[in-house]
Amino acid sequence: MATYYQLDFEKPITLIEQQIEATEQRLAAGANGEAEALRKEVETLRSKQQGMIEETYANLSPWQTVRVARHPNRPQTRDYVQMICRDFVELHGDRRFGDDPAIVTGFARIGSSPGMKVLVVGHQKGKQTSEKIACHFGCAHPEGYRKALLKMKLAEKFGVPIVTFVDTPGAYPGLGAEQRGQAEAIAVNLLEMSRLRTPIVSVVIGEGGSGGALGIAVADRVAMLQHSWYSVISPEGCAAILWKEANEQTNAQAAKSLKLTAKDNVELGIIEDIIPEPSGGAHRDPRATANNVQGWILGELARLKQVPLDVLVEQRYQRYRKMGQWLESGVGVMGGSGGLGAAGVRTGAATIS
């Protein structure tokens, strides 16, 4: 298999893939008297390759995880729609300015016949250069977020659950987007999604950057694919602010400090579940990844549909209200009336921005 994109930490794996390809070519050419030996060599190389993949991906650093999440062959929203959805009907436009290809919306069925009716909303980065440019590399404009909310309210009207796929480095930061109300569009989405009277589940399938991700990720249940990331800012953005320079070293430091991996987000209570990826990442086996995503979506929606809507909305509110809660205890100031004392405890909740 020819390799056109290579992660630096995968170089040893790529070398073995090249050896396997060369050996298979010799086998296909019908090397006299060597067929059995070549078959055994291919089996040995494949076993070695699988072992190296499992070891490499079991020990990814946060920055390497970011690199995997950005792999150009990683499945995107339209890929998941194709693999797990039936009867997909795409809906366009925000009825105010225009259509944003960086966000895909549409009704579909997920699961075996007849399937569960859902509204799908997701970021789309694009695969070919022309599509990437048209999709702004997955950075949505305000009309994208307004389109998403308009379709979500339509889903609420008909009692259809909502499934969102998050995959963006952040909302589009250009002048035109700001002039058309980028921050306001995202803020309105956060408010309105928090009180939609229909089940909502969200999956971070690649990158989950800042408010651009949150704009479609206010949900009852949120999961991340194993090798995705979710954070208030990208590692490069963080590095540029803290160290005034974004390079390999500062990016790696920032990624570690941001606690952006799926494991970190579960421990921090930001998400509920981690959806496993096939060995070597979603880009190596998109179909198996899609099956895992589908299983999680159907399971969570089946449970959420049993919850009364009033309870569902209140639980969603409390889910986000408790994020950032903290406890602080310490000895009060000697002789001061404002100290908390040795057993003093303060509680509070951070706001989401």
For 340, the domain range is: 323-353
Does residue 350 sit within a domain? yes
Helix (H) / strand (E) element for 326: namely strand 326-330
Based on the domain organization, do 160 and 218 belong to the same domain?
yes
Judge whether 211 lies within some domain: yes
> Helices marked H in 158-304 — which ranges?
175-179, 182-194, 210-214, 235-242, 248-258, 262-267, 286-304
pLDDT at res. 332: 52
The answer to the question of residue 3 being in a domain is no
Same domain, yes or no, for 53 and 189?
no
Looking at the structure, tell me whether residues 333 and 264 fall in a common domain: no
Cα separation, 221 vs 146, in Å, equals 22
Give the number of domains in the chain: 3
Residues 121, 14, single domain; the answer is no
In this structure, are 204 and 352 located in the same domain?
A: no
CA distance 99 to 105: 11
Length of the chain: 353
Mark whether 234 and 349 lie in a shared domain.
no
**Do 20 and 137 share a domain, yes or no?**
no
333 and 200 part of one domain: no
CATH number at residue 158: 3.90.226.10
Whether 166 and 253 share a structural domain: yes
Q: Are strands 221-225 and 200-209 parallel, antiparallel or unpaired?
A: parallel
Does residue 87 form part of some domain? Answer: yes
Closest CA to 79 of 287, 223, 224: 287
* Structural domain contains residue 276: yes
Q: Are strands 116-123 and 200-209 parallel, antiparallel or unpaired?
A: unpaired
- Looking at the fold, whether 162 and 78 belong to one and the same domain comes out as yes
Residue 116, in any domain of the structure: yes
Same domain, 106 and 125: yes
For the chain, the C-alpha Rg in angstroms (whole number) is 23
**pLDDT tens over the chain, length 353 residues:** 344 577 888 888 888 887 888 777 777 776 566 777 777 887 888 888 888 888 888 889 999 999 999 999 999 999 999 999 999 999 999 899 999 999 999 999 998 878 899 999 999 999 999 999 999 999 999 999 999 999 999 999 999 999 999 999 989 989 999 999 999 999 999 999 999 999 999 999 999 998 999 999 999 999 999 999 999 999 999 999 999 988 999 999 999 999 999 999 999 999 999 999 998 899 999 999 999 999 999 999 999 999 999 999 999 999 998 887 777 776 554 444 443 333 333 334 443 33
Mark whether 239 and 251 lie in a shared domain: yes
Q: Which of 16, 42, 59 is a domain's end point?
A: 59
Tell whether 146 is covered by a domain.
yes
